[in-house]
């Protein structure tokens, strides 16, 4: 069973439906026992970093999430679910995150002359930086759907699995031990996204 963590935010239904579409057994839950016994865990998320951390805290989910990551079972973070893994975000002042990975989350900052819009919204390509069980090396630049104004700056460059170009090259994917976390939305990325989720569901 894949446990999709329900902390009162995010597009849980989309993530759930996408796993169902690839034949994976997934459930949406906020029950720490269900998270602990799940085969793998998904932390989705859209919205504001601060509200997400507050909701996780209020629902008593911070420890269960940290423990599930430490247990070594496959973990998938999507969008805010990637950002929340880091030590802090500068969204609305400095807000501490889960601190599972060293690094921070900062905002796209373009000068007035730039035509680049924020949020970074739409389909953009990935640059595959290392081999990964979730990506096909024959397709090193697949398109995925993004919608975000902030991006992660990991301290450890070895954890970077994909980058994406938007005004600058930013980190769009992290893989470290059992952690797989992406800035883009596989559940909204049609065939490419479903394929990634299917591969994640097969991880041990």
* List of residues contacting other proteins (CB under 8 A): 11, 13-14, 17-18, 21, 46-48, 110, 115, 117-125, 143, 145-149, 165-166, 185, 187-190, 193-194
In contact, 21 and 200? CB cutoff 8 Å: no
Active site residue 185: yes
Q: Which of 52, 175, 180, 187 is catalytic?
A: 187
CB of 121 to other proteins, least distance (A): 5
Cα–Cα–Cα angle for 101, 127, 157, nearest 5°? 30
Q: Nearer to other proteins by C-beta: 150 or 176?
A: 150
- Residue 58's contacts (CB-CB under 8 Å, 6 or more residues apart) are none
Among candidate residues 16, 79, 120, 148, the one labeled active-site is 79
Q: Are 80 and 45 in contact (CB under 8 A)?
A: yes
Residue 192 φ then ψ, to 5° = -60, -40
Please say which residue, 21 or 72, places its beta carbon nearer to other proteins: 21
Of the pair 2, 18, the CB lying nearest other proteins is at 18
Cα–Cα distance for residue pair 97/86, rounded to 1 Å: 6
Distance of CA 199 to the CA centre of its chain: 15
User: Among the options 120, 148, 180, 185, which is catalytic?
Assistant: 185
We find the least distance from the C-beta atom of residue 102 to other proteins, in angstroms, to be: 26
- C-beta of 16: minimal distance to other proteins in Å? 10
Closest separation between CB of residue 183 and other proteins, Å? 12
Of 188, 141, 192, the closest CA to residue 46 belongs to 188
Question: Residue 74 or 193: which CB sits closer to other proteins?
Answer: 193
Is 187 one of the annotated active-site residues of the chain?
A: yes
Distance, first Cα to last Cα, the chain: 12
The DSSP call for residue 83 is: H
Residue 87 designated active-site: no
Q: What residues act catalytically?
A: 79, 185, 187
């Amino acid at each position: 069973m894949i446990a999709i963590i329900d902390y009162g935010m995010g597009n849980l239904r989309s993530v759930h439906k996408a796993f169902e579409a690839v034949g994976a057994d997934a459930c949406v839950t906020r029950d720490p026992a269900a998270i602990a016994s799940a085969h793998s865990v998904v932390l989705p998320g859209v919205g504001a970093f601060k509200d997400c951390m507050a909701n996780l805290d209020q629902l008593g989910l911070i420890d269960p999430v940290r423990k599930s990551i430490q247990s070594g079972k496959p973990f998938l973070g999507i969008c805010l679910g990637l950002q929340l893994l880091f030590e802090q975000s500068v969204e609305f002042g400095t807000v501490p995150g889960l601190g599972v990975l060293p690094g921070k989350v900062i905002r796209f900052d373009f000068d007035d002359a730039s035509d680049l819009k924020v949020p970074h919204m739409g389909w953009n390509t990935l640059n595959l930086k290392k081999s990964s069980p979730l990506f096909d090396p024959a397709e090193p630049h697949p398109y995925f759907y993004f919608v975000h104004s902030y991006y992660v700056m990991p301290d450890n460059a070895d954890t970077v699995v994909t980058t994406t170009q938007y005004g600058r090259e930013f980190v769009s994917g992290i893989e470290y031990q059992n952690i797989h976390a992406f800035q883009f939305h596989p559940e909204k990325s049609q065939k490419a996204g479903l394929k990634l989720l299917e591969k994640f569901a097969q991880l041990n």
